[in-house]
A and B are shown apart, each in its own frame.
Chain A
Amino acid sequence: MGPDRIPLFPLNVVLLPGATLPLHIFEPRYRQMVRRCIDDKCEFGLLLALPKGIVRVGCTAEITEVLQRYPDGRMDILTVGRSPFRILELVNTDAYVNDELLEGDVDFLDDREYRTDARTRNDLLQLYEVCHTLIFDDYPKNIEGEAAEYLSFVVASTLPLDLMWKQQILELRSEADRQERLVGYLREWAPHLQKQEKSRARAGGSGIN
């Protein structure tokens, strides 16, 4: 089977598998893309756009709900992150600057390794619980019930982490590596949370589906 061709939506966010992301669609090229995805029941690829260009690894977004349609064609939609992918080739490299829809031939990325280390998992849960409480004034919901291979994505998409950190988590291909990376990062990040109490932005990452 050859690579799959999917429409691409570069944006200043990192979507992770399982995370929900509401989007306001107003550019004509994306309105068209969304209509096509709804009609064909297909997903589009979300990619982090950086000043120097777009990254090569993104995550597909499934449209789960159209929240609002405006008379002029704009839409509010709700999406959920599904499959991480790597771009093999951009089909129409000039599209982005020409206001056309960008498409890419992609490889979907599966995890190579499913085993996780119980101790790392416990460390991550503990850090997550405390960070979540400090940031949102509440316990995280239902974390024990999360599938083991998803825990890192739940944590990384719920806490307001740096975009480049989220991108790194998306790019790692084993849950054990993702959990370990997150534990290291949170250990460093967490002690600063209460120092920035007043300036801290409350808006965080998106919730998880």
Chain B
Amino acid sequence: MSDQKKSRRQMLEEFVARKPDDAFSLYGLAMECMNSGDPGAADQHFRALLQANAEYVPAYLMYAQLLVRESRGDEARTVLSSGIAAAEKKGDQHARSEMEVLLSEIG
């Protein structure tokens, strides 16, 4: 047992270090960074994730939401377009329509 309890982020960083190609670990870490107010780190992790795992559909919408919050609308649109294509390829109608809604909202 460890003497000091690790934070969730530290634990997730460990998982990613151990298995850098695992999409869900990296997604979890990116989400954790985003939810705990570190958009810079979240941005990096989302980008690394989508570079290595372009078919990991859930990441696109979350990354786009982060970009919208950071007032980076152009980048959000690019991410959403790729995300919609990825969702279409996977036959994920639900994810696709969620992203289309966000895309139309940011105009």
Shortest B50–chain A CB gap in Å is: 13
14 inter-chain pairs at a CB distance below 8 angstroms, sorted by A residue, are A126-B19, A130-B25, A130-B28, A133-B11, A134-B28, A134-B32, A137-B8, A191-B27, A191-B58, A191-B59, A192-B58, A194-B28, A194-B31, A194-B32
Whether A129 contacts B27 by the Cβ 8 Å rule is no
* Distance in Å: Cβ of B54 to nearest Cβ of chain A: 15
User: CB-nearest residue of chain B relative to A194?
Assistant: B31
Residue contact B32 to A130, C-beta cutoff 8 Å: no
Given known A-B contacts A126-B22, A126-B24, A187-B24, A133 and B31 have beta carbons under 8 A apart: no
Counting chain A CB atoms within 10 Å of each CB, the highest count among B24, B25, B31, B32 belongs to B24
- Determine chain B's interface SS by DSSP, over half rule: helix
Flag whether A190 is at the interface (Cβ < 8 A): yes
Which of the residues A129, A130, A197 comes within 8 Å of B35, measured between beta carbons? A197
> Residues on B close to A: CB < 8 A?
5, 8, 11-12, 15, 19, 22, 24-25, 27-28, 31-32, 35, 58-59, 62
Q: How far is the CB of B106 from chain A (nearest CB, A)?
A: 19
Interface size on A, residues (CB 8 A): 17
Q: Which residues of A contact B8 (CB under 8 A)?
A: 133-134, 137
Taken together as a complex, chains A and B put the C-alpha atoms of A194 and B25 apart, in Å, by 12
A127 sits at the interface (CB 8 A):
yes
Task: List the A side residues contacting B12 at CB < 8 Å.
Answer: 130, 133
Distance of B24 from chain A, by nearest CB (Å)? 6
Distance to closest chain A CB from B59 (angstroms): 8
Mask for A127-159, Cβ within 8 A of B = 1, else 0? 101100110011100000000000000000000
Chain A residues with CB under 8 Å of B24's CB are 126-127, 130, 187, 190-191
Closest to B95 in A: A191
A172→B63 CA distance, assembly (Å): 37
Min CB distance B20 to A, Å, is: 12
The answer to whether B15 touches A130, judged by C-beta atoms less than 8 angstroms apart, is yes
The 5 closest A-B pairs by CB, nearest first: A191-B58, A194-B31, A133-B11, A130-B28, A130-B25
Q: Which residues of B contact A127 (CB under 8 A)?
A: 24
Q: For residue B11, which residue of chain A has the nearest CB?
A: A133
**Most B-side CB within 10 Å, residue of A129, A134, A190, A191:** A191
Determine the chain B residues whose CB is within 8 A of the CB of A191 once the complex forms: 24, 27, 58-59
> A129–B22 Cα gap in the complex (Å)?
12
- Complex Cα gap A138–B14 (Å): 12
